[in-house]
Amino acid sequence: MPIPEDVTGEEIDKAVRQELMSLPKTLADDVAKNLVMVANLIDEDPDQAYAYSRVALRLASRVAAVREAAGFAAYATQKYGEALAEFRAARRMTGNVDLWPVMADCERGLGRPERAMTMAGEPEVLKLDKAGQVEMRLVAAGARRDMGQIDAAIVTLQGPELGSNSVQPWTVRLRYAYADALLSAGREDEAREWFAKALEADKDGATDASDRLAALDGVQFVDVDEDEDVDVDVADEELEHGPESDSDSDSGNDRS
Q: Given this model, what pLDDT does residue 224 score? A: 56
- Alpha-carbon distance 89 to 84, whole Å? 9
Q: Given this model, what pLDDT does residue 218 score? A: 85
CB 55 within 8 A of CB 36: no
Which residues of the chain register pLDDT less than 70?
A: 220-256
- Alpha-carbon distance 136 to 119, whole Å? 9
Q: What percent of the chain has pLDDT over 70?
A: 86
Q: Given this model, what pLDDT does residue 245 score? A: 42
- Alpha-carbon distance 114 to 124, whole Å? 17
Q: Given this model, what pLDDT does residue 221 score? A: 58
Q: Given this model, what pLDDT does residue 1 score? A: 83
- Alpha-carbon distance 78 to 107, whole Å? 12
- Alpha-carbon distance 4 to 67, whole Å? 23
Closest to 199 measured CA to CA, from 208, 189, 187, 188:
208
- Alpha-carbon distance 79 to 86, whole Å? 11
Q: Given this model, what pLDDT does residue 222 score? A: 60
Q: Given this model, what pLDDT does residue 144 score? A: 98
pTM, two decimal places: 0.82
Q: Given this model, what pLDDT does residue 220 score? A: 66
State the DSSP code for 208: -
CB 135 within 8 A of CB 170: yes
At 166, which amino acid appears?
S
CB 69 within 8 A of CB 35: yes
